[in-house]
Amino acid sequence: MSHVSSNSPHGQSPLRTVQVLGGGNAGSSAHVRSLAAGLVARGVRVTVCAPVEADRSYDFTGVGAEHVHIPRSSDPGSVAALRAVCADADLVHAHGLHASFRTVLALSGRDTPLVVTWHNRAHAEGARGHLLRLLERRVVRTAAVVLGTTSDLVDRARRTGARDARLAAVALPGSRPPAEVDDPDRQPPKVRAELGATGRPLLIAVGSLDRHRGYDVLLDAARAWSRLDPAPLLVIAGEGPLRPELQRRIEDEELPVRLIGRREDARELLDAADLALLTSRWEPRSVLAQEALHARVPLVATAVGGIPDLVGDAAELVPYGDAAALAEAVVRLLGDPARCELLRDRGVRQAAGWPTEDETVAQVLSVYDELTQPRAFS
């Protein structure tokens, strides 16, 4: 009999799990919070190891988990601290490559089962890219189960030597029906006015200002649609190392684009938008794509990574790096209200098939159960 039970039958102690996060990007941090809430509700003890700022942002303790501050992976004390926390764990679940590698080191010499979830793919070239591939190999060959959030991550894990790699059910935590904006101060007309998009189409992109996001291609496309009358305004919410370079281009080329930095109101921005744009070189289960479909906002996205499986026929897909195709798709949608309405309806239907938070927790629990239940026969 398994000891994964909310009632701890026959005096068995509840399962004790440790969830390990690295720096914790938004997707993996939100997933761990959702997972922790569901596991605690089912009687599982959960300790979340993450930097203290992650707990401040995601409130793991607020859903009943214990939080232990573990410094970021660059800190030499992090492996020793993690080893101490995992000493009496029944199972450890690490999220992301750096957190997983630290966990492999921390569990060295122990037979504690390790589950690893790959939420994303590391972006690096040259010597750093080679190092990351070595870390990947070490992690996937050590883990009892690798859960990939997209089918190509599962394939990658298998190619790298995983003993057991599976597609993870990953819900969009806290998703809400599209028309749930009740605060009059948050209504789309006010948001549009604040952004300077009154009387013109508003295009929204959300994500860190990093090279793999494809924002250089997005600015190339913006130059093409800037000839429309009225010219659409492209608003990019996010922060990162490319900001000075992008800002310089926007000013030099007089592009109808605004960089508004990191925002906590991405959902409200989407509610106000005519189109959402996703131009990355690679994406897993993109939070922006999921939010856009939930919010009934037509999406134009690159056909990369997990995007085609995620959105199906509910978005306009274009090749990565093709500014002309991107611009053409945007211009065509802005001039075709019927097509936009079709995409909105398809989006609602597509989103209805995504896993719920309950289904996500149930899948993870079944994996934990496999790895921890006592076996009567060898």
The string of pLDDT tens digits covering residues 83-112 is 999 999 999 999 999 899 999 999 999 999
Residue 185: the pLDDT is 45
Q: Are 99 and 20 in contact (CB under 8 A)?
A: yes
- pLDDT in the model for residue 1: 40
Cα–Cα distance, 273 to 197 (Å, whole number): 9
Q: What number is the average pLDDT over the span 235-252?
A: 97
Reported as a single tens digit per residue, the pLDDT across 183-197 is: 444 468 899 999 999
Would you state the pLDDT for residue 7?
Answer: 45
- Superfamily of the domain at 9-171+356-372: Glycogen Phosphorylase B; (3.40.50.2000)
Average pLDDT over the chain, rounded to whole?
90
Structure token digits, residue 245: 């370079």
* Region 184-352: CATH code: 3.40.50.2000
pLDDT in tens, 114-136: 999 998 877 677 888 888 889 99
- What burial letters (b/e) apply to 35-60, b meaning 16+ CB within 10 Å? bbbbbbebebbbbbbbbeebbebbeb
Quick check: pTM over 0.85? no
Q: Hey, which bits of 178-256 come out as E strands?
A: 202-206, 233-237
Return the higher-pLDDT residue of 122 and 222: 222
Contacts 24+ apart (CB under 8 A), 63-68: 63/33, 63/36, 63/37, 64/36, 64/37, 64/40, 65/19, 65/36, 65/40
What values do phi and psi take at 349, rounded to 5?
-65, -45
39-63 residue pLDDT tens: 999 999 999 999 998 999 899 999 9
* Structure confidence by residue, pLDDT tens digits, 297-342: 999 999 998 899 999 999 999 999 999 999 999 999 999 999 999 9
Residue position matching structure tokens 């764990």 = 89
β-pairing, 299-302 vs 316-318, is parallel
Residue limits of CATH 3.40.50.2000 in the chain: 9-171+356-372, 184-352
